[in-house]
Structure 1
Amino acid sequence: MIRLYDYHLDENGFRVRLLLSMLGLPFETVAVDKAPGREQEKPHMLALNPTGTLPILEDGDVKLFGTAAILAYLVRAHAPDSLWLPADAADFGRVQQWLGFSGRELKPAVDAREAALFTSEGASETDLKAARKALRIMEDHMTLRQIEGSDWFVGATPSLADLALLPSFALSRDCGIDHDEYPALRRWLRRFRALPGFITMPGVPDYH
């Protein structure tokens, strides 16, 4: 049985839960008191992940931390013939490009949301500015893709690029970012929500 160490409001945990659901994989959750307890930084959790972050995945003898690594592992181990990681070398590289973007350029969006939800100071202007810049890059890319007749970030079908990018946009209203400024991403989120196995979490909008 797959075991996921997670906090129910954690954005990166949502990425992994979403993929597990869309792949139809059963799993059990080990709840970690991230806020306010910071349990992920306690010795028993550092023994599983020395970086002190969530989520953490156990699948038999395999133990992994790092969201992108977990997502890629789940596809290769449990859905190797799926299109979540394309076989085409160019599209595979493009998916990796957006996975890197998710972990790097979108980190300020993750940090801004967590600060807005869990601190009295709220999100910093520095993080909000960087988050809006990253979302604008995504908006411009998806606008061009839609002009070209494509619904997804890479290729003709949903991939890990879409799944990894989506939570930061979907949850960005938690830190005060207006989704009306990103119409192409709104349409993209609406399409992704309609895919089989999609699950939601608090903060994910359902546009009408």
Structure 2
Amino acid sequence: MKLYHYPLSGHAHRAALFLSLTGVPHELIEIDLSAGEHKQPAFLALNTFGEVPVLDDDGVVIADSLAILVYIARKVGPSHWLPTEPAAEAQVQRWLSVAAGKTAYGACAARLITVFGAPFNAEEVIGRAYATLAVMEQTLRDQRWLASTAQPTLADIALYSYTARAPEGNVDLASYPRVQAWLRQVEELPGFIPFQRTRAGLDA
């Protein structure tokens, strides 16, 4: 497998993290977003949206980080990462939707402002990040993992990267001890790889 990625992208990191956690052999190919490589014909042939990450599994091309997580989980076979029991699978899907919506337009967007100069409304996206963190904190009150499972799932992988680097977007994690404990649990998983830090926001 080849994973086209960019080290400062949380979307790319969640895909690379899951490949590492599952032990799937793969090659990381960096796409230089600052040089516009993602807008060149060769890359657009892989993903017409011009976004990382993209997974190429011997000619089977999967674009979108969450689609990549599901694809890898199905490739490795039945596991705790993507439960097949309907209620548990629905819980995982719920959190994948949070990753694609509330996190993308919350903690992710806040970080895009400070790291990449994105023209978002800081107050709005930071407020959305805190609202999502509050729900995560409440969810983790009586359970270790987001999808109410005994072991980690794709839900935890999908939410990890941008939550871990939320302070780079001026989102303070100090008031969310359960979220912080959950982050440490993910970081203790065999095969964990960290998301590259930047000196931005509260981490400047």
Q: TM-score, normalised by structure 2?
A: 0.90
Q: Please state whether the residue corresponding to 1:195 is helix, strand or coil.
A: coil
Q: Please state whether the residue corresponding to 1:64 is helix, strand or coil.
A: strand
User: Aligned partners of 1:120 and 1:95: how far apart in 2?
Assistant: 30
Partner of 1:165: 159
User: Aligned partners of 1:118 and 1:190: how far apart in 2?
Assistant: 27
- 1:110 aligns with one of 86, 108, 111: 108
User: Aligned partners of 2:102 and 2:29: how far apart in 1?
Assistant: 29
Where do 5+ consecutive residues of structure 2 fail to align?
A: 199-204
- 1:193 aligns with one of 187, 191, 203: 187
- C-alpha spacing 1:123/1:29, structure 2 compared with 1 (3 Å): farther
1:175 positional shift: 0.9
User: Aligned partners of 2:97 and 2:179: how far apart in 1?
Assistant: 19
Quote the sequence identity (%): 34
Residues 1:97 and 2:91 aligned together: no
Partner of 1:20: 19
Superposition CA RMSD, Å: 1.8
Query: Could you report, residue by residue, the CA deviation over 1:162-188 in whole angstroms, capped at 9, with x for unpaired residues?
Result: 111111210101111111121110011
Q: Please state whether the residue corresponding to 1:29 is helix, strand or coil.
A: strand
Q: TM-score, normalised by structure 1?
A: 0.88
User: Aligned partners of 2:122 and 2:162: how far apart in 1?
Assistant: 16
Q: Mean Cα displacement is larger for which, 51-60 or 195-204?
A: 195-204
1:94 positional shift: 0.8
Q: Please state whether the residue corresponding to 2:51 is helix, strand or coil.
A: coil
Q: Please state whether the residue corresponding to 1:63 is helix, strand or coil.
A: strand
Q: Which amino acid aligns with 1:152?
A: W
Where do 5+ consecutive residues of structure 1 fail to align?
A: none
Partner of 2:146: 153
Contact 1:83 1:158 in 2 (8 A): yes
Contact 1:173 1:203 in 2 (8 A): no
User: Aligned partners of 2:168 and 2:118: how far apart in 1?
Assistant: 14
Aligned residues: 196
Residues 1:80 and 2:73 aligned together: no
Residues 1:51 and 2:45 aligned together: no
